[in-house]
Structure 1
Amino acid sequence: MTNACHLTVSKALNFAKVAAQRSLSSRSNLPYPSKCTLKQIHMEGNKKCDSRGALIVLEGLDRCGKTSQCSRLISYLEELGHAVESWRFPDRNTGVGQMISSYLANKSHLDDHAIHLLFSANRWEKRSLMESKLRSGTTLIVDRYSFSGVAFSSAKGLDMEWCKAPEAGLLAPDLVVYLDISPEKAAERGGYGGERYEQLEFQKRVAQSYKMLSDATWKIVDATLPIEDVQKQLRQIIMECVLTCQQGKPFVELWQN
């Protein structure tokens, strides 16, 4: 890896660590924060937000079907004439993302705290572009987001509030859809075990972390149903969200007091 790439990664880690420290410090004298503490982004000189795209996130255990369902949703929205893009985290095309990719493929080893901050930095790399795309009217269908980062890292034993801290200030999804499948059922699907986190006992802990993160705003879909049935439910859920955002739903930020 070049010196420039090392410098970029170092800056990313430093940024994420500072963000975590500031967020934890600001909340040190407050009671345990709620699961869905969000802060509305104020629009200068405009009482109502303009029409925009929706930020839709699909979450779930490994092999729950997120990637295939994201692809189907993209095709469906395109057929209806909507501007839409498929995003995925981690984004392995960036400098930080390449380090994450190496780690996930078991080609490198990093401290659990360090890899969590890299995952967070990878999302911050895309934050400005994400908001720009949404403001332009493009809906983003995202395969994993901050909730995955927190769920997987806390499943390793890291403090959940520490894991949330560097994510605070990222755009909050307009919709989170959790594709629900038991760890045992997911393990029966093809290709399971190809990456570092695809281990049954670990996935059980991830499932528990997701339960702690979820709230009444999440939409839960049974991922063990036939693909077509899952897709039908997803279409109904996301179209409501897309229409709401087109009507001027304001942006909010993740985990801000």
Structure 2
Amino acid sequence: MTHPCCFSVSKAFKFATAAGQQSISFRYKLKFPFKCSSRQIHMENNHSSDSRGALIVLEGLDRCGKTSQSSRLVSYLEGLGHAVESWRFPDRTTNVGQMISSYLANKSHLDDHTVHLLFSANRWEKRSLMESKLKSGTTLIIDRYSYSGVAFSSAKGLDMEWCKAPEVGLLAPDLVLYLEISPEKAAERGGYGEERYEQLEFQEKVSQSYKTLSESSWKIIDATLPIEDVEKQLRENVLDCLTVCQKGKPLSELWLS
């Protein structure tokens, strides 16, 4: 379905390009005539009892363990016979994703507004495929989503409502698993500091932004626990979520009135 608040990928990309030239003035021209919430999407045959896959997102600071736990979850669900796929944002295989990858590796420099819109466009590139996968019964385990985009950009000083605007209309997760860890603890893990945002002071700001974004769909998991204990908690929450979605929970859209 199409909503007037939704950006197509092409529009989002053009928007990102324009933002690189007029980011400051744009920031104050964007209006928000809606309140942030979610809106349900009916299944194609309008039977809300239809079974579907679950949209499950792992969020958290850099080096909190999202990628390894995502992989473990996928293997576990496959072993139980579920149709499941592992996704990750940014998706660096797309044209937009390659631009983002260059930026994150400190190989290019872009205006903060432009970067945010590129990240959003990267998610919009996969929106249609995401919906079709879920409706076909495939569960998606996603490493980072819109919450990361908003948390990181607002940590740079961009207005949080401005950051949410291009995400409006993307699919809302059924479950967000937030792996909680302090920036200091995360910095002790291997590979820290290899990418642009892996800096203690900045990660602390990101942590505060995440707290502001927390919603009823979030489950907070202590990421400092042993890997097996974290994995056990994730499994329990995911299985509960899958059961609800298989019973026909409608899909929803992110931050719509």
TM-score of the superposition, structure 1-length normalised? 0.89
For 2:15 and 2:127, locate their aligned partners in 1 and report how far apart those are by CA, in whole Å. Answer: 14
Determine whether 1:136 maps to 2:136.
yes
Residues 147-173 of structure 1 show CA distances to partners (whole Å, capped at 9, x for unaligned) of 000000000000000000000000000
Task: Indicate the SS of the match to 1:197.
Answer: coil
Q: 1:114 maps to what in 2?
A: 114
Q: How far apart are 1:40 and its partner, in Å?
A: 1.0
Task: Indicate the SS of the match to 1:140.
Answer: strand
For 1:39 and 1:12, locate their aligned partners in 2 and report how far apart those are by CA, in whole Å. Answer: 21
Determine whether 1:217 maps to 2:237.
no
Q: 1:169 maps to what in 2?
A: 169
Residues 196-224 of structure 1 show CA distances to partners (whole Å, capped at 9, x for unaligned) of 00000000000000000002331000000
For 1:252 and 1:67, locate their aligned partners in 2 and report how far apart those are by CA, in whole Å. Answer: 25
CA RMSD of aligned residues (A): 2.2
The answer to which of 101-110 and 210-219 deviates more is 210-219
Q: 1:145 maps to what in 2?
A: 145
Residue 16 of structure 1 contacts residue 166 of structure 1 at CA under 8 Å; is this kept in 2? Answer: no
Determine whether 1:88 maps to 2:94.
no
Any gaps of 5 or more consecutive residues in structure 1? 1-8
Determine whether 1:70 maps to 2:85.
no
Residue 59 of structure 1 contacts residue 144 of structure 1 at CA under 8 Å; is this kept in 2? Answer: yes
Change in Cα spacing, 1:45 to 1:128, as seen in structure 2 (3 Å) is closer
For 2:250 and 2:15, locate their aligned partners in 1 and report how far apart those are by CA, in whole Å. Answer: 27
Change in Cα spacing, 1:136 to 1:10, as seen in structure 2 (3 Å) is closer
Residue 17 of structure 1 contacts residue 166 of structure 1 at CA under 8 Å; is this kept in 2? Answer: no
Q: How far apart are 1:191 and its partner, in Å?
A: 0.3
Residues 108-131 of structure 1 show CA distances to partners (whole Å, capped at 9, x for unaligned) of 000000000000000000000000
Q: What residue identity is the alignment partner of 1:25? A: K
Q: What residue identity is the alignment partner of 1:125? A: E
For 1:256 and 1:10, locate their aligned partners in 2 and report how far apart those are by CA, in whole Å. Answer: 21
Residue 179 of structure 2 contacts residue 221 of structure 2 at CA under 8 Å; is this kept in 1? Answer: yes
Residue 74 of structure 1 contacts residue 141 of structure 1 at CA under 8 Å; is this kept in 2? Answer: yes
Any gaps of 5 or more consecutive residues in structure 2? 1-8, 19-25
Q: Report % sequence identity.
A: 77
